Structure 1
């Protein structure tokens, strides 16, 4: 996907306007995002500009810097310019209450809102009540830009006060129940502002979209998601270049079905395309379509740090850890002072056990800004890799002190508490992570594992199912569901879940979504012997001996790569246990230190094309071989039993029992031979 010179110039002008308009309203993150995207947009060839006369501005004044196109709004903005500059300077100096008071002093707000409360309780109809309001009780006549700045300053002031009133992170009184006390005031004011615009018969200036964005954001904080989505959708139609509004919509989408449902109602421009790709990455989607979308966007913005991050995260969620690491490494080389999303990079380095690179990243982040949440998470990961878990917890808590909505810090701190055997604190950390983002499958999975350690399997199963719903193609999630069902004695359901675990990692290789027979399994590439052993064991408990035997044979076959070494099932964290063990940073946080070592130690084998040489002898394959030897004895196939038991002696696993089987098998063969004579 490429852009013509005309389209490129239009896009450039729109992004320039977005930077100016968002900066005027102190939406700094949205302004930064638009500016970075603008910087990544290549300039059209000079010849095209000369031939078409494009890119030349009359009087050298950019449209973004001209007066508002609406005459009434332009007049109000001109009248308020001195006060607006004063209010903006207060906001820039983080004096949010002073900023809000320039246009909306407390006395004015209290009068407006108290009049609304009084009228709400009166028997007079709404229209008559509004008309009966004295003039001083009506909303002040100020421009939308100034009104947004004043109300936004109130919201930020409330957030600041909430953080100050909150207890120490994970302290005895930190219940996460402190609320922003300014939300009610701002919500009532905006509710009345929109109601007045709908009720008035006189012509009013067209809305600019920013107040809809602010109201949607406030409604989200008040947990009114349905109304919030309506206002946010209205905002992006009025002004589609406010990236903050798109991010709020992303936070409201928990399922791909919701994304597909709202897609037809989005404005038809490049912002919708970027939003769709970013939301799909955040929903852990995979596949060629998403990869192609990201490639098309990178053709337009080749050096965009945001899109390069999306591509690296796409590889990260697809378990292609080496490609993700290379992507973040290239991104760091292009933008060495950018700290955004480096916490994800540190997760990848942790799983790959690349301690020197993680140490370098920790020093780099500390040197740029040691008081950014991302820096604290990176340093915490480094200490965790050194097994200094108390120190890691300290840095994750510091990240949360700086930003209580830092999702990575909550989840990773839960993992550290699991390592420290503090299950109560781990559960609380995971719960707070889920409160921040209900799409965080790692937190759901962590809750499941912690409750499983506490032998509360019903709770564990519920959380595992939540994680599997968010990552339906991740075999590790279904393996956890199946193992939990097995412990609850629900073997039939457990077998279904574990069969899905075997197929899950091959989902995007056009593999069948369910097993019709063991023949379907035979066509799979290398699989996890532990999963196969679990399935066989459950079939054995159900007295389905033939099915159990088939899966035990498959389990043993994984020692030399399985029945079929097709590339589709083993690479990049596929069906093999070694691949799954490094699937993603602490997808299965170890309960004991041995689990952590397995997770890091398999890194060199887990990515890329590994997993096709076979697992070699493992505890699972030895148990399967022992079961097959006993089955052969029951079936009076003594030569097979003798061969399998001899192999067990060579493996050095259960040697004494294997020797006993050999003696018994040879004795039976001798007796059979004597009878034949």
Structure 2
């Protein structure tokens, strides 16, 4: 994707306007995002600025008054009060900021009238007979900018009060049920404001920010459908407010939903960025998404946001080495940026890169030790040192700073599992799901915890939720299959575990298609544990032929899935895995990926392959193939696993062979 010089100029100007407009309304995160994207645009040469109007007389379009004369007049009249209100907001005096334009007496009158009418519909007629009710009184006349600032300050005041009223994180009284008490006031006011606009014959053009605020309030009230409508209106009216796009992203739980609303989005670069970011958040992979991010990076080469998306794309695809390199590059370009470094710490934790994680923890602590991201990074470092109580302390600190910090809730659940505190682990995972229902790690954690408690029906339900969010992740299907196996549902378990095998082949470009009902390419690396589980379930179902085939395939993984060891002449040549379902994503023992560079080198001898070898040796004894049983027993003695049982099997095989030789004479 390339831009002409004219397009680049207009894009830069639009981002400059976005920074100013969002800053004026105290939308600091949206302003920061736009400013970072603006800074990532390549610098223009000095010659391009020659011949432009003198700076003394030039006014940038970002500082032009509103194009609507009514709005411009209102903003000019309110300038003094607006500056006062904004200064209060900047000092975090939210109630004082709101009271500059909307005194509590005015707001309480509107809400009281609304409640009285709802409680007693007859009251409306009586009030009309006496005089105009409080609800029928006109709303105060003010500019949309000032109204947004006042109502947004009310929302922030409610959030601040909510945090103050909340109990200690994970304390005995911390039920997570404290609500923002100002949402009702803001919601009723905006409902009335939009209703009055519909009655006007020629209303002033909307700027899009009040639609965003109403959508945000409706999201907090769990009214997702109406919220999405208002947020969509907002991005059409002012597409440069990234906060609004993020609210829409949080409302999208499925790729189908994203594809459904995509045609109704404004067709500009913001929609393109939104689509790529949402796809990454939905754990999508593929060449198209990678190409979209590369196109955007062609326009914004040093954008910290887009580089983070690229790193997260590799992270979700379980390519941890590439993700680590992406985050390392990002840290080199923006050494003081803390956003998303919690994800980087997760990668370093899984790769067991303790020195790098220690450096990252020290860096975050030196920049701002009271940022949630810093606390999560430090907590991950202590977890890597197996200091789980200390890790929990830092995750709780992160949640004290921001109760919506998803990483902290999920990671704290992991730590409580390590500490064998299953009740606290379940509560942590539940809070993570409340923050973001797309967090498959929390669903998976709930499944693991209930499995530890041997409540397999609950565990299965949560594992299925995780698998639904990550249908291309083999670890999810392996957990489902193992849970079904423990519940005695072997046939369903076999299907789930076969799907886990399909998942492992999805990211292996050298693997043959698992979707066809034919032999598996033996060069495809598969998880011996999964193959052993499938074989064991077939054995319990008395299907010895299928069990033998999967045991052979499990043992073949020792040398990379080749056709078997040198002397394995009696082993089956191939095993058919039927097309039960589409595959899932890659998986490994830790569930966070591994370096697949040497994926075809084989696993070597493992407990799973030794168990498969023992089963095949016993099967050979039952089939009176004593030579094969003797050879497999000798291999088991070399493995160092099940040695005593293997020696006994060798002695029995030798005695049977000797007896057979005597009878032949």
> Does the pair score TM above 0.5?
yes
Query: Is contact 2:472-2:586 (8 Å) kept?
Result: no
Q: 1:78 to 1:474 in 2, by over 3 A?
A: same
| Contact 2:109-2:135 within 8 A present in 1 as well | no
Query: Aligned in 2, Cα 1:419/1:464: closer, same or farther, shift over 3 Å?
Result: same
Q: Which runs of structure 2 are paired with 1:354-373 in the superposition (5 Å)?
A: 354-373=353-372
CA RMSD of aligned residues (A): 2.4
Further displaced range: 467-476 or 21-30 = 467-476
- 1:373-421 Cα distance to aligned partner (Å, 9 max, x none): 0000011011111111000000000000000000000000000000000
Residue pairs, 1:594-613, within 5 angstroms: 606-613=594-601
* Count of matched residue positions in the alignment of Structure 1 and Structure 2: 643
Q: Secondary structure at the match of 1:338?
A: coil
Shift of 1:47: 6.2
1:658 Cα deviation from its structure 2 partner: 1.1
Question: Match of 2:74?
Answer: 76
- CA distance 1:14–1:562, change in 2 (3 Å): same
> Structure 1: which 5+ residue stretches go unaligned?
566-574, 585-602
What is the deviation of 1:199? 2.0
Distance in structure 1 (CA, Å) of the matches to 2:24 and 2:128: 36
- Counterpart-to-counterpart distance in 1, 2:513 and 2:246: 33
Tell me, yes or no, if the aligned pair for 1:162 and 1:178 is still in contact at 8 Å.
yes
1:150, 1:673 → 2: CA distance?
Answer: 99
Q: Residue 579 of structure 1 contacts residue 607 of structure 1 at CA under 8 Å; is this kept in 2?
A: no
1:95: which partner in 2? 93
How does the TM-score come out when normalised to structure 1?
0.91
Q: Cα 1:56–1:673, aligned 2, differ >3 Å: closer, same or farther?
A: farther
Q: Does 1:651 align with 2:639?
A: yes
Structure 2 contact 473–586 (Cα < 8 Å) conserved: no
Cα–Cα, structure 1 residues 303 and 515, in superposed 2: closer, same or farther, change >3 Å? closer
From the superposition, tell whether residues 547 and 15 of structure 1 become closer, same or farther in structure 2 (CA, over 3 Å): same
Equivalent in the alignment of 1:185: 185
Equivalent residues in 2 for 1:477-496, closer than 5 Å: 477-496=476-495
Give the equivalent residue in structure 2 for 1:43: 43
Whether 1:467 and 2:466 are equivalent positions in the alignment is yes
Match of 1:641 in 2: 629
Deviations along 1:21-67, one digit per CA (max 9) or x if unpaired, are: 000000000000000000001134566777xx789999411111011
Alpha-carbon distance in 1 for matches of 2:346, 2:134:
60
Note the C-alpha offset of 1:204: 1.4
Whole-angstrom CA distance in 2 between matches of 1:251 and 1:442: 17
Q: Is the 8 A contact 2:474 2:586 kept in 1?
A: no
Contact 1:5–1:48, Cα closer than 8 Å, also in 2 = no
Pick closer, same or farther for the CA change 1:512–1:139 going to 2, 3 Å.
farther
Superimposed CA distance per residue, residues 565-604 of structure 1 (whole angstroms, 9 cap, x where no aligned partner): 9xxxxxxxxx9x99712442xxxxxxxxxxxxxxxxxx8x
- 1:580 maps to 588
Distance 1:85 1:284, change over 3 A: same
Distance 1:582 1:9 in 2: 48
Where does residue 217 of structure 2 map in the other structure? 218
SS at match of 2:520: helix
Q: Which residue of 2 aligns with 1:204?
A: 203
d(CA) in 1 for partners of 2:181 and 2:134? 28
SS in 2 for 1:137: coil
**What SS does the aligned partner of 1:110 have?**
helix
Shift of 1:663: 1.6
Quick one: distance in 2 between partners of 1:79 and 1:135? Answer: 26
**TM-score, length basis structure 2:** 0.93
Is the 8 Å Cα contact of residues 497 and 534 (structure 2) preserved in structure 1? yes
Instruction: Return the alpha-carbon distance in structure 1 between the equivalents of residues 263 and 522 of structure 2.
Output: 40
Asked if the contact 2:463/2:480 (under 8 Å) is kept, the reply is yes
Task: State the match for 1:664 in structure 2.
Answer: 652
What CA deviation, in whole Å up to 9, does each residue of 1:537-581 have, x standing for no partner?
A: 00111111111111000000011111379xxxxxxxxx9x99712
Cα distance between partner residues in 1 of 2:596 and 2:527: 17
Deviations for 1:593-630, whole angstroms, at most 9, x for unmatched residues?
xxxxxxxxxx8xx2140332111111100100010011
CA drift at 1:117: 3.5
Segments of 5+ residues of structure 2 without an aligned counterpart are 565-582
Separation in structure 1 between the aligned mates of residue 175 and residue 133 of structure 2, nearest angstrom: 42
In 2, the alpha carbon distance for the partners of 1:314 and 1:78 equals 47
2:613 is aligned, of 610, 617, 625, to: 625
SS in 2 for 1:660: helix
The CA distance in 1 between the partners of 2:158 and 2:314, in whole Å, is 38
Secondary structure at the aligned position of 1:157 is classed as helix
Contact 2:505 2:586 in 1 (8 A): no
Q: Is the 8 A contact 1:379 1:392 kept in 2?
A: yes
**1:388-407 alignment, distance < 5 Å:** 388-407=387-406
Whole-Å separation in 1 of the counterparts to 2:446 and 2:52: 58
1:19–1:31 Cα contact (<8 Å) kept: yes
Deviations along 1:273-312, whole A, 9 cap, x unmatched? 0000001111111110110000000000000000011111
